[in-house]
Structure 1
């Protein structure tokens, strides 16, 4: 009886050990649980910075000529010009002058230059236009009260370049076999096409500053010329290419939101257009702006 109980107990013990070994094997072979993913730090959103508008570049000679051409076309066609963003815009206008060489008598001339090679001295003179009583300005600026008006003509408004114009070559007659010259070949012009004398130039585009009542009188030139005297070694500057007047400032409204006004007495004549400005700087430089001879700021 005792042996039978001992045998049964041993059987149960062996079974328990077997079951324990099986469970331990299952636990040992089970893959370890993957570690929980670490929380990823989310960067704080970057605050949106306000966009700073970039200033527009100053209007050049070509820009002013194009704007005036559109204004002249609208005037000639009787069209209503659309609203303009020109008032308030900066401009940098280059006006070449003295392109034909030195002025014979600079004291009597309004604009020009002279050079004394012996003394190595360059003298320059530029006189602004005084348009206070000009009838054309009174028509264009009819709605503006002003006490004085000064400015400059933009000569040769068909030329957008800031440099002096190219010289026009005169056609030379072609010698004939008999020895007498014959005219150069080409279409026969009408008799009135080539005048015997060059008529006075009619200026059609200018920039003008209007001095309204209450403005400082010392800001006006009142016909006084901008003049400069500077020592200059021969060949230091290409004077054969003329000099340059530089006018900088901003455009001012002449009529509501428009800075350009035009007028003509006849539809067959090109309108005269004036651009109202406020001059901040006037300078006289070399032919390409590389040498500042003198400048005036206001």
Structure 2
């Protein structure tokens, strides 16, 4: 009797062990947790505001298309984009307008010192292009058009050049014609209050103490900020071929919200206007 109980106990134990093995084999294997996803690489989104280099790159592309007789299809990507354009001027000394009047409306920023050396006057008078500009006849829909030349459009830097050319070393060749400008338009019927193209912008740097006013070490900078606007054909940049031996002349449509003069060496704002 005792022997039978031992047999039954061993049999039961074997059955329990076998059952546990079977259960273990039937249990589904859970898959390993997937690794966390790799963080997505940040996309190189375009800068929301175009600077001098980006503006001139767009002008170069438009000039190339015009020279080749190619018309780009699709919407104009520049319409409504904001910009901040800097134009260095007076890098090699004072400037006077061709007529001798510093406030001549020719769309070129200048500086000139007074006869006694006590003041330096900075001026900008946009040129009147209501009847047409370098890119052709005036487009429809604008009461006035005023322009500012983009000097040295082949140079992307916002600062004065690090070189200088003495007149004795300059070759006797004709100076290249200006081929790039920013054009500020006032639509027909728009308010005349505060429009940037209808006024002359002036700032006077005065001497401190008895010494003459210090000449700028790296000239000055004109700052133009605003947004691009399209012409009647919705294009922002209009170009015209004047000669096959010269680059096309281009005009960039803009609504200017801020105009400023900066010190070329420090970047300090000397004066600013918000005519828009």
TM over 0.5: yes
5 Å-filtered alignment, 1:133-172, equals: 133-134=131-132, 136=134, 139=137, 141-142=138-139, 144-165=140-161, 166-169=163-166
Shift of 1:28: 4.8
Unaligned runs of 5+ in 2: 34-41, 104-108
Give distance in 1, aligned partners of 2:59 and 2:118.
Answer: 41
From 194, 197, 218, the counterpart of 1:219: 194
* 2:50 is the alignment partner of 1:59: yes
Q: Does the Cα contact within 8 Å between 1:262 and 1:272 map onto a contact in 2?
A: yes
Which residue, out of 153, 175, 183, partners 1:208? 183
Larger radius of gyration: 1
CA drift at 1:265: 4.2
Structure 1 counterpart of 2:102: 109
Alignment counterpart, residue 194 of structure 1, candidates 153, 172, 179: 172
Q: Secondary structure at the match of 2:182?
A: strand
- For residues 267-292 of structure 1, give each alpha carbon's deviation from its aligned partner in whole angstroms, at most 9, with x where no partner exists: 34432210111112212112156211
CA distance in 2, matches of 1:266, 1:115: 38
Deviations 1:128-159 (A, max 9, x none): 222112364652x43x3210112210012122
Shift, 1:89, TM fit: 2.0
Equivalents in 2 of 1:212, 1:220: separation in Å? Answer: 11
C-alpha contact (below 8 Å) 1:129/1:223 kept by paired residues: no
How does the TM-score come out when normalised to structure 2? 0.71
Contact 1:244-1:289 at 8 Å conserved across structures:
no
- Which residues of structure 1 form unaligned runs of 5+? 1-13, 43-50, 173-192
Q: What's the C-alpha RMSD, in Å, of the aligned pairs?
A: 4.0
Question: Counterparts of 1:152 and 1:63 in 2: how far apart (Å)?
Answer: 17
Q: How many residues align?
A: 246
The corresponding residue for 2:106 is none
22-31 vs 284-293, greater mean Cα deviation: 22-31
TM-score, normalising length from structure 1? 0.66
Residue correspondence of structure 1 range 79-98 to structure 2 within 5 A: 79-83=70-74, 84-98=76-90
Q: Distance in 1 between matches of 2:117 and 2:152?
A: 34
- Residue of structure 2 equivalent to 1:71: 62
User: In structure 2, what is the equivalent of residue 276 of structure 1?
Assistant: 253
Quote the Cα distance in structure 1 between the aligned partners of 2:45 and 2:197. 37
CA shift, 1:261, in A, is 0.7
Deviation by residue 1:99-146 (Cα, 9 ceiling, x = unmatched): 2323579x9313423568x9976542222222112364652x43x321
**Structure 1 residues 164, 131: closer, same or farther in 2, change over 3 A?**
same
Separation in 2, partners of 1:91, 1:104: 29
Other-structure match for 1:250: 227
The answer to whether the 8 A contact 1:121-1:229 is kept is yes
Q: What's the CA shift for 1:164? A: 1.9
Instruction: Note if contact 1:85-1:257 (Cα within 8 Å) is conserved in structure 2.
Output: no
